Structure 1
Amino acid sequence: MKGIRFWCVWILGVLALTSGRASAAHTQARLVLSAAEVRPGDTLWAGIHLRMDPEWHTYWRNPGASGIATEVEWQLPDFIRAGPIHWPPPEKYAEGDLVTYVYHREVMLLIPLSVATNAPRGAVELRARVTWLECKESCLPGTAEVGAAFTVGEGSRPSADAGLIERWQARLPQDGIALEFRGRWDAPAGTGRTRPVVLEWKDPTAADSGMATGSWDFFPYASPEYEVQAPTSVLPSPDGRVRVRKAVETFTGKWPAELSGLVIRQTGDTVQAWEVHGPVQESETVGFENVAGVPASSTPLSLGRVLVYAFVGGLILNVMPCVLPVIALKILGFVNQAREDRRRVRRLGFVYTLGVLASFAVLAMLVIGLQTAGRQAGWGIQFGNPYFLVAMTVLVTLIALNLFGVFEVTLGGRAWEAAARLTRREGAAGAFFSGLLTTVLATSCTAPFLGAAVGFAFVQPPPVVLLVMLTVGAGLAFPYLVLSWQPGWLKWLPRPGPWMEHFKILMGFPMLAAAVWLLTLVEAHYGDRVWALGYFLVVLAVAAWLYGTFWQRAVRQSKVSLLAALILLAGGYWYLLEGAMQWRSPAAASDGPITVEEGGIPWQAWSPRAVEEVRRQGHPVLVDFTARWCLTCQVNKRFALEVPAVREKLREIGAVAFLADYTHFSPEIGAELKRFGRAGVPLVVVYPADPSKEPLVLPEALTPGIVLEALDQAAR
């Protein structure tokens, strides 16, 4: 979907371009010629020279997600024929959520003009009407009548603007036939409208090193039948060929058999472009050849294997640290169900599974929506939203207070039972809620097998995304569903009794730990202002205690205590959250400086250019893609990376360690994760010093031995 903004711009542009209105004020147009005099039968070049005010831009032949290409309508004598416009390479420009191809400051559109062999001698006047769309924060249509003159005579004489035209001709794309441009579909054709494609071509500058160099991209030509979306994932290129993954959206249901456009290479401020045209073939298998840091000959991932990975990964999620608080709730629920009717136990297990699957279906819809909008989607993306974190911190605190017996909430017995009430006894609503909460907390971890499965899913058509996500949910819910349908396995649980109240309180502590952990994540968005949320949680606890003690459990309910609880809660909210914390105004996303522990690994901030430079200097590289909200990442760092043996090995082989912080879902890091077939963190990659060798992708759950073995291989 190109969005409402695209259609507004399109309608505005069409009305402007057909109305003949006066030129907009932010772009000046003129017509220049390469020759002042030509002979009959010669060709001269015309240039439409556009100069834009600072920060304003016009559009390339393919505007991208919005905008309108510049058009030229000639008024020529019969003996002169105008060729097609030759477009200099544009720049890729993000306008909010939309990505477009534009020109800033100035551009010259070049058009060859052929003079007939029987052209009469004498002066020739050329006229043209130029129309464009110019944009900054808003878009305005522009039009101008331009003209220039030359002479048809017996000789050839350059014009005063010949040098300017030659400089712009030098910027035009070169013929890219030698690049051997081609593509292959990276997913089978399904019912969805979007499909990933891998494009590859030769790097003409890689003859000496054998490695692709520079920053590469593919700018597609526009088509009424499909759109090649702007986001690009650059894949490993050890053989002198460049490989990128893009997504193609079809408007007709047919997939293009060939693609055309520009191959762009940028090195510093230097931009080179080649015009390419090549076939797009079907892949025999669907997979990530050259994506996950393995040779192309490795076995690719099929959809069946991905579904197995997804189910096993979801199953393993049950023992990851992020799900421990919910496991505590499920243990409490099984204790309550141990002596209940078998049919009721089965029904509750089924409802819990529905809660998990519904949550994963919502996550799948979120991923599909982001992909449709041309934005990146990542595993655990909700943990990058500050409002979600504030709400979850309050919710989990309420659950912990309920488990401690501070209060129970029924909202008059008529509204849906609140989260805290739902943890007391496993009803149908409680089972469904537990499934939702399990999913929410589980997505802050990545289990073995899960990274590859989700990375595969997030670049597939919508039906595949939904299928893989539901399979992960099925694996996550499977143990509880089996226990519910085999209640005989619950006989090991002791008989219900007074001890259960103490056990319930015990289960509140892991939930309280989860609240503290969420509070630390909030700090990443609000900085020092997070103290206000901490104090608000204290106020919330006092209000809950007043309510539970003097209203719920009191022999005579005290309206004064209820009013005091409400006033305390409202006052704390407005003074602390709205006033001191200003929770509706989080700080701009910034991961801040990297903190290096005393005697620890000297981490450096990650960037692709920094890694490339260090490898060029002959050093192995270790990159830890991590996030503050990823508990698996923190466990890996504490027990497998920041250990004496690994620190010593890094020093011994002269390796450089980089930290890629994905806490705020950096688009650059997200693109790198996709390059390795992952949709989220953790991801640890070890690069050999030799740039011709493939990087080593380590599993999600690490041990020091795994890291040391990879570093040994990288040093050889």
Structure 2
Amino acid sequence: MTRSLIPQLSFALLAAWLASAGAFAAGSGPVQTDHLRSRLVAETSTAVPGSRLTLGLLLEHDPHWHTYWRNPGDSGLPTRLDLTLPPGVVAAPIAWPHPERFEISGIVNFGYSGRHLLPVIIAIPADYAALTLPVRVKARWLICEENCIPGKAEYALDLPVRRTAEPDRQWQGDFATARRDQPSESPAVLTIAEDGDAMLLTLSGLDAAAMPVAWQWFPETPELVANGAHPQWRRTADTWQARWSKSEYFTTLPAEVAMVAVEDEGVARRFVARLAAPAAHAAALPAPTTTPALTDKKPVTPRPSSVMLYALSGGLILVLMLFAWRRKR
């Protein structure tokens, strides 16, 4: 090989290495754990100062296995992502796509199966001056079929910093699906109030053609309503109203309540509820004609005074029986 060809060959090898590094930068290597293949990916292969960049944890579940939504339902744990980013770069929480419903042996859970991407948006400051944007992520999840297995993995991305964003075609379909499944904030007004062992929901401001009775409802707020039950919607003059049995773990209405509804076409809406005065809200909806299921009722705990009375009565009866037995002898 002549000496004059060495610089040309070295430059060619360097250019090829940089090209391959740029192509790899938009996705970490896949990680295989129990019944799950995962990887960290980016919607673009470059990072641009002064812009937002969407990352995503891509999950590929084995058949019949699932991980969990932000509200896992009756059991389970939501997937957690801990990001380490350069100073000034800020990450938003997971932008959760709407979930699926899983029911196994009477236990109802909300989560994801098959191939799903959990997006996270990061904001890059305009004065970010480094040549690359390093992203490190630690993920934890619980994956279940009938049995559950905790899982975790670590991922790394180093995105080159450029003046313009370069979309990565390899993951465009996954990000498009996640964006399509993202619930949009509904302009309709959802009001919620307590009514005995149920929650009373009122929806106003819906389109005339909207049919919430046909939607699949997911409580974003945990331990609010019974996950195995469904809201029983009915139309009034200008609203929709429903009763939804309380969760057996319900204690009190939190300051913010949110619910997600999914139409048959997969369009998802998110409702942030307003808290209503129980008496005023209950007056709008007649009492149900059927008796609520026993499983929706909370167990009654005896008062301490009642427990003491029962104990004294039992002790007195025992003393009388012992006295009678001794007299017979």
Same fold (TM over 0.5): yes
Q: Distance in 2 between matches of 1:252 and 1:243?
A: 21
More moved, 160-169 vs 89-98: 160-169
Which residue in the other structure is 1:375 paired with?
A: none
* Amino acid in the other structure paired with 1:273: A
Indicate conservation of the 8 Å contact 1:203/1:242, yes or no. Answer: no
* Amino acid in the other structure paired with 2:134: E
Per-residue Cα deviation, 1:640-682 (whole angstroms, up to 9, x for no partner): xxxxxxxxxxxxxxxxxxxxxxxxxxxxxxxxxxxxxxxxxxx
Which residue in the other structure is 1:54 paired with?
A: 63
More helix by share: 1
Q: Distance in 2 between matches of 1:244 and 1:252?
A: 18
Q: CA deviation at 1:103?
A: 0.9
Which residue in the other structure is 2:9 paired with?
A: none
Q: CA deviation at 1:151?
A: 1.8
Which residue in the other structure is 2:148 paired with?
A: 139
Q: Distance in 2 between matches of 1:282 and 1:250?
A: 22
| 3-state SS in 1 of match to 2:177 | helix
Which residue in the other structure is 1:273 paired with?
A: 268
Per-residue Cα deviation, 1:479-500 (whole angstroms, up to 9, x for no partner): xxxxxxxxxxxxxxxxxxxxxx
Which residue in the other structure is 1:282 paired with?
A: 277
* Amino acid in the other structure paired with 2:231: S
Q: CA deviation at 1:89?
A: 0.5
| 3-state SS in 2 of match to 1:165 | helix
Which residue in the other structure is 1:221 paired with?
A: 220
Which residue in the other structure is 2:22 paired with?
A: none
Indicate conservation of the 8 Å contact 1:183/1:197, yes or no. Answer: yes
Indicate conservation of the 8 Å contact 1:232/1:244, yes or no. Answer: no
Which residue in the other structure is 2:185 paired with?
A: 175
Indicate conservation of the 8 Å contact 1:24/1:141, yes or no. Answer: no
Q: CA deviation at 1:88?
A: 0.5
Percent sequence identity is 24
| Cα distance, 1:229–1:214 mapped onto 2, change above 3 Å | closer
More moved, 109-118 vs 237-246: 237-246
Larger radius of gyration: 1
Which residue in the other structure is 1:197 paired with?
A: 199
Q: CA deviation at 1:199?
A: 1.4
| 3-state SS in 1 of match to 2:128 | coil
Which residue in the other structure is 1:261 paired with?
A: 259
Per-residue Cα deviation, 1:524-582 (whole angstroms, up to 9, x for no partner): xxxxxxxxxxxxxxxxxxxxxxxxxxxxxxxxxxxxxxxxxxxxxxxxxxxxxxxxxxx
Indicate conservation of the 8 Å contact 1:212/1:239, yes or no. Answer: no
Per-residue Cα deviation, 1:168-197 (whole angstroms, up to 9, x for no partner): 212101012x1111112223xxxxxxx311
* Amino acid in the other structure paired with 2:263: Q
Which residue in the other structure is 1:232 paired with?
A: 230
Q: CA deviation at 1:248?
A: 2.9
* Amino acid in the other structure paired with 1:371: D
State TM-score, norm by structure 2.
Answer: 0.71
Structure 1: runs of 5+ lacking an equivalent: 1-21, 188-194, 291-299, 311-363, 373-460, 464-716
Q: Distance in 2 between matches of 1:199 and 1:94?
A: 24
Q: Distance in 2 between matches of 1:122 and 1:257?
A: 44
Which residue in the other structure is 1:69 paired with?
A: 78
Indicate conservation of the 8 Å contact 1:71/1:131, yes or no. Answer: yes
Per-residue Cα deviation, 1:363-400 (whole angstroms, up to 9, x for no partner): x9xx53x225xxxxxxxxxxxxxxxxxxxxxxxxxxxx
Indicate conservation of the 8 Å contact 2:191/2:275, yes or no. Answer: yes
| 3-state SS in 2 of match to 1:236 | strand
Which residue in the other structure is 1:34 paired with?
A: 43
State TM-score, norm by structure 1.
Answer: 0.35
Indicate conservation of the 8 Å contact 1:186/1:198, yes or no. Answer: yes
1:150-169 to 2 correspondence within 5 Å? 150-160=159-169, 161-169=171-179
| Cα distance, 1:169–1:288 mapped onto 2, change above 3 Å | same
| Cα distance, 1:153–1:200 mapped onto 2, change above 3 Å | same
Larger relative contact order (C-alpha < 8 A, sep ≥ 6)? 2
| Cα distance, 1:235–1:77 mapped onto 2, change above 3 Å | same
Q: CA deviation at 1:258?
A: 4.3
Indicate conservation of the 8 Å contact 2:199/2:225, yes or no. Answer: no
1:410-425 to 2 correspondence within 5 Å? none
Which residue in the other structure is 2:120 paired with?
A: 111
| Cα distance, 1:152–1:213 mapped onto 2, change above 3 Å | same
Indicate conservation of the 8 Å contact 2:40/2:157, yes or no. Answer: yes
| Cα distance, 1:285–1:252 mapped onto 2, change above 3 Å | closer
Q: Distance in 2 between matches of 1:201 and 1:75?
A: 41
| 3-state SS in 2 of match to 1:36 | coil
1:398-409 to 2 correspondence within 5 Å? none
